[in-house]
Amino acid sequence: MSATEPSSARITALDILDVRFPTSEHLDGSDAMNPEPDYSAAYVVLRTDAGDGLEGHALAFTTGRGNDAQAAAIATLSPHVVGLSVEEVCADLGGFSRSLVHDPQLRWLGPEKGTIHMATGAVVNAAWDLAAKRAGKPVWRFLSDMSPEELIAQVDFRWLSDALTPGESLEILRRAEPGRERRVGHLLDQGYPAYTTTPGWLGYSDEKLARLAREAVADGFTQIKLKVGADLEDDVRRLRVAREAVGPDIRVAVDANQRWDVQPAIDWVRALAPYDPYWIEEPTSPDDILGHAAVREAVSPIKVATGEHIANRVVFKQLLQARAVDIVQIDSARVGGVNENIAILLLAAKFGVPVCPHAGGVGLCEMVQHLSMFDYVAVSGTTEDRVIEYVDHLHEHFVDPVRVTDGHYLAPTLPGLGAQMHPESLKEYSYPDGPVWSARRIRLSSMSPSVCGIRNRSDGT
């Protein structure tokens, strides 16, 4: 049999690229904890000798400095991936995920948290992208077509069984089986509800905030989000501006990006309460379960949401057990990939808490939409009080960018996870020597030393 026959095909390379976008120039993505982010991707390509031209693409998202460290962490996984059978990896994605997560030496760097776990997630997601492409399906449909038993096989239940067992998970999935095809049809016809953070970056003027908020409502969004946490007086004014722009019937969420201790969070949110914020996102440290519970009790009926910086399924489990959150926010690139996100979706379903993913960034919208759509079809069976975050940044760099119409994500139809970027974008924005960054260095070097110094802190040089 030829070496290029599918049954003997091997993964031949794990390519890693450091790709960064200078979003700090216009303060896109700015918030109280990340005032000048450069949206970046430690970008992964799984290559094979299958002869079908298919590759697995995914990424770990960062905000600039440290993207090289994230790429280096991904590279440590290469010896565990290169040489594996393509067919065996794609047939047992749960086993592949566990083989990386439970490496007896690399796991010491977590375990299951931080840069090494995000590296695992990037490689696992690339494997899902490859498997779905080989099946000719977008990942949301690839997952939704699996049987409950096949889905259970994807999940690592270690450390979860006091809150969620395989048997309970099987019951959740079986209850959702009736109506799967109807829900698939609904997604294809109408899409999945979205909300937008585009108006709310902290560096935007009040005029820009109001204009973008009105545009969001005109575009069909029923929820927007504002960044808060730098200055209380500014936040009260900005929330008033947003509320006046959108009226009383549009939900306005606020996001502190972990800025506060517990009591300041409570005091700050109470000061914003007259303008009816729908949720407060990341009010304090993502690891502080009891702190979130205290904030939730004190600010109700304003909801508490968190998740984009939560390291693993165990912390999500504890937040749910402690009744510390009203909204679970999964992230496609923070935890250990699709497999661990299935576990988190099942946990949320067990506790009856809606999931509203974190997105934006680079490629996060493209990837996480698949998880919410799978949740609707095969896990929760509902979109009630569920929305996917949308930010209108950088989608033009992707082969299969998100499509948002009338405030809804349209269901992807191309095979894969959606993370594949155009070769030209990878070349232009490669760091530090791509044309965009080379030109930026030349431009900054011609500025005064004080200006150059400020900007250089932003771009990592």
Which residues are within 8 A (CB) of 134 and not within 5 positions of it... i.e. 6 or more apart?
Answer: 52, 54, 86, 90
Answer yes or no: 358 catalytic.
yes
Element of type H or E holding 43: strand 40-48
Q: Please identify which of the residues 117, 227, 292, 303 carries the catalytic annotation.
A: 227
Q: Please identify which of the residues 317, 350, 358, 393 carries the catalytic annotation.
A: 358
Tell me how far the alpha carbon of residue 166 is from its chain's centroid: 25
Taking a C-beta distance cutoff of 8 angstroms, is the pair 56, 81 a contact?
A: no
Cα-Cα-Cα-Cα dihedral sign, residues 33, 110, 61, 361: negative
Buried b (16+ CB within 10 A) or exposed e, 308-346: bbbbbbbbbbbbbeeebbbbbbbbbbbbbbbbbbbbbbb
Residues 410 and 213: their CA atoms lie apart, in Å, by 21
Taking a C-beta distance cutoff of 8 angstroms, is the pair 210, 241 a contact?
A: yes
Pick the closest to residue 200 from 228, 231, 237, 240 (CA basis). 228
Tell me the two tokens of residue 98: 């566990």
Name residue, tokens 């009630």: 384
Answer yes or no: 113 catalytic.
no
Cα-Cα-Cα-Cα dihedral sign, residues 320, 325, 328, 332: negative
Answer left, alpha or beta for residue 146, where phi above 0 means left and psi between -120 and 50 means alpha: beta
Pick the closest to residue 134 from 85, 173, 180, 94 (CA basis). 85
Report the first-to-last Cα separation within the chain, whole angstroms: 51
Residues 122 and 117: their CA atoms lie apart, in Å, by 9
Residue type, 316: F
Q: Which residues are catalytic?
A: 227, 358
